[in-house]
């Protein structure tokens, strides 16, 4: 039986809207045996993570909007360029009030972020110490408001010294919770280390896209059948679509094992180290920061676009969103 992704997405939205944390939603799904989707990681994940739930919550595809991305690989370095959004590309599975309500909660430290498991991560170590950079002048961004009662902010060190940059403060807790919520996704986005790996990942990206569209198509056909529109033509299309999907799954599996076989030992070791520390309760903040520094040379706090731009030492960069642009 084909799992109904739309239903899973709707359940996740309803739970988050009721104030249930993303970590808890992932737990409930794991316990209920809900099949995982929403990640194109190196090794197909078997379990839901809070980061997958987060990515569903901010994915405009659920309200019908498609944002095509162009993947470019230059010397094995990947860059992803978002293109013009296409409204109404997918059938909307989440209504506008639900979407808006959830955006208000998940972006910028709403109820779910505060109830999340990282709520108590109030230690004093800045997880991005030595890494955070100003988007305008590339100087360090450091913490101000170190007292317990005031929200801590990241500010460009050049601006603090009145040396000519813009004084713009960014909420540190918001940045930190985005980082911790999306850390597994970020780690899965580690750069390709060879042309061979880049080619495999490019193929995997396109197989995953075609699979998503094919599953969507299948879902519509099944709905048609449920509504009694079961003509021989529909049945025939159902058969061919299921066969296509089966074929795509085979291709995906083959690509993933080829990817896993590509030699990438040192980078894998460093990625696993961050991932292990991230799972620790309570979080060892010092170790986490040190391990991040082993992977990234800088993290640009691009407050104009609402993104954290992680620059991999191994080449290339990955962006995670921490708030809507120009908030």
Angstrom CA distances, 35 to 3, 8, 17, 110, 120, stand at 7, 9, 21, 27, 30
CB of 97 vs Zn ion, minimal distance in Å: 39
Instruction: Give the tokens for residue 10.
Output: 């709707």
| CB-CB contact of 158 with 165 (8 Å) | yes
CA terminus-to-terminus distance, the chain: 43
**Residue 163 or residue 266: which is nearer to Zn ion going by CB?**
163
Cis peptide before 29 (omega within 30 of 0): no
CB of 161 vs Zn ion, minimal distance in Å: 10
**Residue 47 or residue 166: which is nearer to Zn ion going by CB?**
166
CB of 156 vs Zn ion, minimal distance in Å: 3
CB of 137 vs Zn ion, minimal distance in Å: 3
Find the helix packing angle between 5-17 and 96-106, rounded to 10°. Answer: 60
| CB-CB contact of 23 with 117 (8 Å) | yes
**Residue 225 or residue 309: which is nearer to Zn ion going by CB?**
309
**Residue 156 or residue 186: which is nearer to Zn ion going by CB?**
156
CB of 249 vs Zn ion, minimal distance in Å: 48
**Residue 44 or residue 161: which is nearer to Zn ion going by CB?**
161
**Residue 41 or residue 139: which is nearer to Zn ion going by CB?**
139
CB of 94 vs Zn ion, minimal distance in Å: 38
CB of 83 vs Zn ion, minimal distance in Å: 29
Instruction: Give the tokens for residue 251.
Output: 């291709």
CB of 162 vs Zn ion, minimal distance in Å: 12
**Residue 154 or residue 278: which is nearer to Zn ion going by CB?**
154
**Residue 9 or residue 156: which is nearer to Zn ion going by CB?**
156
- Chain positions contacting Zn ion, by CB under 5 A: 134, 136-137, 139, 156, 158, 165
Which residues does residue 77 pair with via DSSP β-bridges, in sequence order?
Answer: 74
């Amino acid at each position: 039986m084909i799992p109904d992704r739309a239903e899973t997405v709707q359940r996740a939205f309803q739970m988050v809207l009721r104030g249930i944390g993303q970590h808890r939603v992932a737990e409930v799904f794991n316990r209920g045996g809900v099949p995982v989707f929403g990640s194109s990681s190196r090794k197909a994940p078997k379990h839901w993570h809070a980061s997958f739930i987060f990515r569903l919550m901010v994915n405009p595809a659920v309200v019908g909007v498609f944002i095509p991305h162009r993947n470019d690989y230059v010397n094995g370095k990947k860059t992803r360029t978002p293109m013009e959004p296409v409204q109404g590309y997918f059938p909307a599975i989440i209504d506008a009030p639900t979407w808006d309500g959830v955006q208000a909660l998940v972006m910028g430290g709403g109820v779910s972020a505060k109830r999340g498991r990282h709520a108590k991560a109030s230690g004093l170590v800045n997880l991005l110490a030595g890494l955070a950079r100003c988007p305008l002048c590339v100087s360090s961004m450091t913490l101000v408001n170190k007292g317990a009662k005031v929200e801590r902010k990241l500010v460009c060190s050049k601006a603090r010294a009145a040396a000519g940059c813009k004084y713009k403060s960014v909420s540190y807790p918001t940045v930190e919770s985005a980082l911790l919520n999306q850390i597994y996704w970020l780690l899965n986005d580690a750069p390709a280390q060879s042309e061979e790996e880049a080619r495999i990942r490019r193929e995997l990206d396109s197989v995953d896209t075609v699979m998503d569209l094919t599953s969507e198509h299948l879902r519509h056909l099944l709905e048609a059948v449920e509504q009694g529109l079961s003509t021989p033509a529909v049945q025939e299309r159902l058969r061919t679509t299921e066969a296509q999907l089966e074929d795509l799954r085979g291709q995906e599996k083959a690509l993933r094992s080829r990817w896993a076989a590509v030699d990438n030992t040192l980078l894998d070791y460093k990625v696993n180290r961050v991932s292990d520390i991230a799972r620790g309760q309570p979080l060892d903040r010092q170790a986490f920061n040190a391990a991040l520094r082993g992977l990234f040379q800088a993290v640009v706090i691009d407050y104009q676009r609402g993104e954290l731009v992680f620059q991999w030492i191994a080449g290339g960069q990955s962006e995670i969103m921490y708030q809507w642009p120009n908030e």
